[in-house]
């Protein structure tokens, strides 16, 4: 009888543990549902991914975020931040995730969880058309002033290049700010994400041009906290569903004026490094 009671107690204890594990894995989704909003941090200056249009945030990232929020069945509440504030906002639990053209990197993965990649990107150089023959690659930027968006992978890449050791890196809050300074001859070139640069040049900066091929192989992912596995699984399931149904590609054609150009550059990125 005593042995039977022990088995029963052990079984109940195991059942309780399994129940706790289930509740813990569902906590983040239940918390979001209880809050009645999905709080998403974004820097809304990245056309055509996530940008302000009146009181709304629209773009490819906004469409992806909407698909995620529909899975949870709550509306989005956007948390607008400068780029350098996004990660602290998530860490301080003032947002549930970041959807804002964030490149997946090994260094960032030490601190946060990333979803599966949803968009291929990379760094590229933009110059004035008058300088297209003079500036063809990194070597020709030696000793020049180069605009970058501060604290982004473009900034980190430029800092790491031996060819740019004698160059001056000038940081800006957004790539469009850097491009404006390029037009005004305050910098000689801009290094940034090619999907954003290509779109900006075709829409607003027709006197500028992209030179060379992509310099890096980068992929965008949704950023989450590491202690929320069920939310990560839901985000990944949403991304995979959008991919399998061809909806991510449809978003590309919807938001880019020349998505074919983006796809061509995606096919020219260098081999991937560990991320």
Peptide bond into 48 cis (omega under 30): yes
Domain membership of residue 33 as a residue range: 26-120+219-265
In this structure, is residue 147 part of a structural domain?
yes
- Give yes or no: residues 204 and 179 share one domain: yes
Cα distance between residue 200 and residue 222, in whole Å: 23
Residue 273's pLDDT band (cuts 50, 70, 90): confident
Query: Are 225 and 109 within one domain?
Result: yes
What's the mean pLDDT when you consider all of the chain?
91
Whether 151 maps to a domain, the answer reads yes
Asked if residue 238 and residue 115 are part of one domain, the reply reads yes
Higher pLDDT, residue 275 or 212: 212
Q: Would 34 be classed as within a structural domain? A: yes
83 in the same domain as 33: yes
Same domain, 112 and 227: yes
* pLDDT mean over 177-182: 98
Statement to judge: residues 236 and 104 lie in one domain: yes
Least confident of 2-11, 107-116, 199-208: 2-11
- Read off the pLDDT of each residue in 171-183 and give the average, rounded to a whole number: 97
Asked which of 211, 236, 256 is the last residue of a domain, the reply is 211
Reported confidence tier of residue 19, pLDDT bands at 50, 70, 90:
very low
Do residues 130 and 248 share a domain?
no
Task: Determine, yes or no, domain membership for 231.
Answer: yes
The answer as to whether 77 is a domain residue is yes
Q: What is the pLDDT of residues 50-88, one digit of tens each?
A: 999 999 999 999 999 999 999 999 999 999 999 999 999
Residue 275 belongs to some domain of the structure = no
**CATH of residue 131:** 3.40.190.10
Q: What are 236-251's pLDDT values in tens digits?
A: 999 999 999 999 999 9
Least confident of 21-30, 47-56, 75-84, 179-188: 21-30
- Shared domain for 95 and 109, answered yes or no, is yes
pLDDT above 60 (res 4):
no
Does residue 9 carry a pLDDT above 60? no
- How high is the pLDDT of residue 8? 40
How far, in Å, CA of 168 to CA of 143, rounded?
7
Per the domain annotation, does 30 fall within a domain? yes
- Domain count for the chain, please give it: 2
């Amino acid at each position: 009888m005593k042995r039977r009671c022990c088995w029963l107690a052990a079984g109940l204890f195991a059942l309780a543990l399994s129940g706790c594990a289930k509740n813990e894995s569902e906590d983040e989704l239940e918390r979001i549902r209880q809050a009645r909003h999905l709080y998403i941090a974004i820097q809304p200056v990245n056309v055509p991914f996530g940008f302000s249009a009146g009181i709304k945030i629209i773009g490819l990232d906004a469409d992806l975020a909407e698909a995620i929020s529909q899975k949870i069945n709550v509306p989005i509440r956007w948390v607008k931040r400068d780029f350098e504030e996004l990660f602290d906002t998530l860490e301080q639990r003032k947002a549930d995730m970041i959807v804002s053209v964030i490149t997946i990197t090994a260094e960032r993965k030490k601190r946060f969880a990333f979803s599966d990649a949803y968009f291929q990107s990379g760094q590229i150089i933009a110059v004035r058309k008058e300088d297209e023959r003079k500036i063809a690659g990194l070597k020709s930027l030696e000793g020049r002033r180069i605009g970058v968006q501060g604290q982004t992978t473009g900034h980190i890449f430029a800092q790491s290049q031996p060819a740019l050791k004698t160059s001056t890196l000038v940081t800006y809050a957004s790539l469009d700010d850097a491009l404006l300074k390029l037009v005004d001859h305050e910098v000689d070139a801009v290094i940034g994400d090619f999907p954003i640069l290509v779109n900006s040049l075709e829409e607003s900066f027709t006197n500028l041009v992209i030179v060379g091929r992509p310099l890096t192989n980068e992929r965008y992912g949704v950023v989450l906290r590491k202690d929320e596995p069920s939310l990560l699984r839901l985000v990944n399931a949403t991304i995979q569903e959008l991919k399998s149904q061809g909806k991510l590609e449809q978003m590309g054609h919807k938001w880019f004026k020349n998505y074919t150009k983006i796809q061509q550059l995606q096919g020219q990125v260098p081999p991937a490094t560990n991320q």
